[in-house]
Amino acid sequence: MSEARADNAKTADRDVVIRVQGLTMGFDDFVLMRDLDFEVRRGEIFVILGGSGSGKSTLLKHMIGLLQPQAGHIWVAGSDITAAEGAERDAILQRVGVMYQMGALFGSMTLLENVRLPLEVHTDLPRDAMDAIARSRLQLVGLGAFADFMPSEISGGMQKRAAIARAMVLDPEVLFLDEPSAGLDPITSADLDRLIQRLARTLDMTIVIVSHELASIFAIADRVIMLDKESQGIAAEGDPAVLRDTSTHPWVQRFLRRTDSDEERPA
């Protein structure tokens, strides 16, 4: 390899925040997806798509270390989360933040207390410092005035924002969002899309999203992968608008154009 090509390869490798290689997911003798290979690049909004039961959320759980694969490896910020144990594994997990589908806020805690919790678990900072950091994250998501509110006192969209603030409180390299628009009306969903874009651009944050909300996907995704349950693999990868307009894969066309399987394919 020439020196120039070697330098380009090193640069490309530095831009890879997550690398999934040969990943097979399943339970006991059942295989859900096999031999998945893809990369997530630094600073991009990367979306995992697929039909119901295709394994979108299961893939996310593998990527954040909640599930072990049947085969394959997942590197997060250069470390293999599938092989790490103990302190090494904890160190990897502190480099990612996760917002679960329904927010998963603790109902008995204020928003400030919810956002502060990861700092209490993972740092030795004094309380006033933790409060200052938690308040700054709430401010980032537009909830600075709601720090002392309980989750039950705010809307579903605000709960999602508070959950994002909590996921960001340890300054993760990668932010994972599981169905962030689920259960939200179109206006609130669009507001959340704008927040996600702003966080990605202003903080240069890598964001991985599980979603099937096409309006949000076309609005914010830099790149997507599409999981196909029938083939047990990735049916397509790339810019969602480009895939919609150019893919020759029948299922990809139906999914991205929201057409019935019996409809005539658009010219």
Q: 91 and 176 share a domain? A: yes
Residue 265 in domain? no
Q: 180 and 156 share a domain? A: no
Least confident of 73-77, 181-185, 208-212, 224-228: 181-185
Q: What is the pLDDT of residue 6?
A: 40
Residue 267 in domain? no
CB 256 within 8 A of CB 214: yes
Q: 149 and 85 share a domain? A: no
Q: What percent of the chain has pLDDT over 90?
A: 64
CB 158 within 8 A of CB 114: no
Mean pLDDT of the chain: 88
Pairing of strands 223-228, 45-50: parallel
Q: 73 and 135 share a domain? A: no
Q: Predicted confidence band at 86 (pLDDT cuts at 50, 70, 90)?
A: confident
Listed residues 120, 139, 171: the one ending a domain: 171
Q: Considering only CA atoms, which of 78, 79, 118 is closest in space to residue 98?
A: 118
The strand pairing partners of 19, in sequence order, are 39, 75
Q: 9 and 82 share a domain? A: yes
Q: 117 and 141 share a domain? A: yes
pLDDT at 264 over 50: no
Mean pLDDT across the stretch 97-101? 87
Mean pLDDT across the stretch 187-198? 93
Residue 264 in domain? no
pLDDT at 200 over 70: yes
Q: Report the C-alpha gap between 242 and 238 in whole angstroms.
A: 7
Q: 86 and 214 share a domain? A: yes
pLDDT at 1 over 70: no
Per residue in 12-33, pLDDT (tens digit) is 466 899 999 999 999 888 999 9
Least confident of 8-17, 26-35, 178-187: 8-17
CATH number, domain with residue 187: 3.40.50.300
Q: What percent of the chain has pLDDT over 70?
A: 91
Residue 160 in domain? yes
Coil, strand, or helix at residue 31?
A: strand
Least confident of 62-66, 91-95, 106-110, 209-213: 91-95
Listed residues 171, 192, 223: the one ending a domain: 171
Q: What is the pLDDT of residue 8?
A: 41
Listed residues 148, 171, 194: the one ending a domain: 171
Q: Predicted confidence band at 134 (pLDDT cuts at 50, 70, 90)?
A: very high
Segments of the chain assigned E as strands = 16-27, 30-41, 45-50, 71-76, 79-80, 96-99, 174-178, 206-210, 223-228, 233-238
Q: 232 and 205 share a domain? A: yes
Coil, strand, or helix at residue 195?
A: helix
Q: 179 and 253 share a domain? A: yes
What's the domain count of the chain? 2
Residue 266's contacts (CB-CB under 8 Å, 6 or more residues apart) are: 253, 257, 259
Residue 100 in domain? no
Residue 263 in domain? no
Residue 138 in domain? yes
Q: Predicted confidence band at 72 (pLDDT cuts at 50, 70, 90)?
A: very high
Domain extent for 43: 3-95+172-257
Q: 144 and 113 share a domain? A: yes
Q: 110 and 149 share a domain? A: yes
φ, ψ of residue 202 to 5 degrees: the values are -75, -30
Q: Which tokens is 68 given? A: 């072990």
Regarding predicted confidence, which is higher, 108 or 92? 108
Q: 181 and 140 share a domain? A: no
pLDDT at 266 over 50: no
Residue 266 in domain? no
